[in-house]
């Protein structure tokens, strides 16, 4: 029987393949947490159907119903707070969250971003990697802070870029790695104490020298080469 007291809320805007990976990990008993709610700024997001099919509470709010960004975010996070999550996961949540609201959750909210941060914050990362002629691409899971895609990076996965790659092939090859990275990072955040500090990420009170990396067995590896 599932006994972890860790509670995860997931924010989504679209397809929900990262959410699906989290749900599958939970079902397999690998997540170390329970997904207590899924929230969206898009009522039509397929991710909401995925959540509901898995028996997870899923709610959407529409920005047009609120006076401004802050009012929308306050309403959204009131719904989230009601479920008392220990961790909030932005998994393809495409809406910028007001700084005032983000400030309250620093250290408790993470995001998956399809680039090797701090490179390529923002949108169209695959296209920008190709245009720059980079040989390596990847994805990062980071703490959410008021700077867009700028919070301390917890973990990354890397893929090689080939001469024939297009933005589409890169996205397609990276996506399954993103799923493994997100699952492994959520599992870690539920098992150990992760903190966002002004100097970077700390695990159980010790700063990590560099982002953890996902190895070929989908384990997160520290700078010393050992699994965390
Ligand atoms: C992912 O590529 C994620 O990195 C980015 O948005 C995409 C979401 O995909 N932030 P999905 O909705 O989880 O399938």
Structure token digits, residue 175: 């996506």
Answer whether 155's CB lies under 8 Å from 214's CB: yes
CA distance 204 to 89: 20
Confidence band (pLDDT; 50, 70, 90) for 100?
Answer: very high
Q: What is the DSSP string of 151-201?
A: SPEEEEEEEE--TT--HHHHHHHHHHHHHHHHHHHHHHHHHS-EEEETTEE
How does DSSP classify residue 227? B
Q: Which atom of ligand 1 is nearest to the CA of 20?
A: 13
pTM of the model: 0.97
Contact 112 CB / ligand 1 (< 6 Å): yes
84, pLDDT greater than 70: yes
pLDDT at 3: 53
Residue 92 Cβ inside 6 Å of ligand 1? The answer reads yes
> How big is the chain by its Cα radius of gyration, in Å?
17
Q: Per-residue pLDDT for 121 more than 50? A: yes
pLDDT tens by residue, 155-196: 999 999 999 999 999 999 999 999 999 999 999 999 999 999
pLDDT at residue 2 is higher than 70: no
Q: What's the pLDDT at 1?
A: 43
């Amino acid at each position: 029987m599932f006994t972890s007291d860790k509670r995860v809320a997931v924010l989504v805007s679209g397809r929900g393949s990262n959410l699906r990976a989290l749900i599958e990990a939970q079902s397999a008993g690998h997540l170390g947490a329970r997904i207590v709610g899924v929230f969206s700024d898009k009522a039509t997001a397929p991710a909401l159907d995925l959540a509901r099919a898995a028996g997870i509470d899923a709610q959407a709010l529409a920005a047009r119903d609120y006076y401004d960004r802050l009012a929308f975010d306050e309403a959204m996070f009131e719904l989230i707070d009601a479920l008392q999550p220990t961790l909030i996961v932005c998994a393809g949540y495409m809406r910028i969250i007001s700084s005032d609201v983000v400030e309250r959750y620093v250290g408790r909210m993470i995001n998956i971003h399809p680039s090797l941060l701090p490179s390529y914050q923002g949108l169209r990362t695959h296209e920008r990697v190709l245009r720059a002629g980079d040989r390596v691409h990847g994805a990062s899971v980071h703490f959410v802070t008021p700077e867009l895609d700028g919070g301390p990076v917890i973990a990354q996965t890397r893929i090689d870029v080939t001469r024939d790659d297009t933005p589409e092939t890169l996205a397609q090859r990276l996506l399954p790695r993103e799923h493994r990275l997100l699952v492994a990072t959520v599992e870690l955040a539920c098992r150990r104490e992760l903190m966002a500090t002004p100097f970077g990420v700390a695990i159980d009170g010790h700063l990590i020298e560099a982002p953890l990396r996902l190895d070929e067995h989908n384990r997160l590896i520290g700078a010393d080469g050992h699994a965390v």
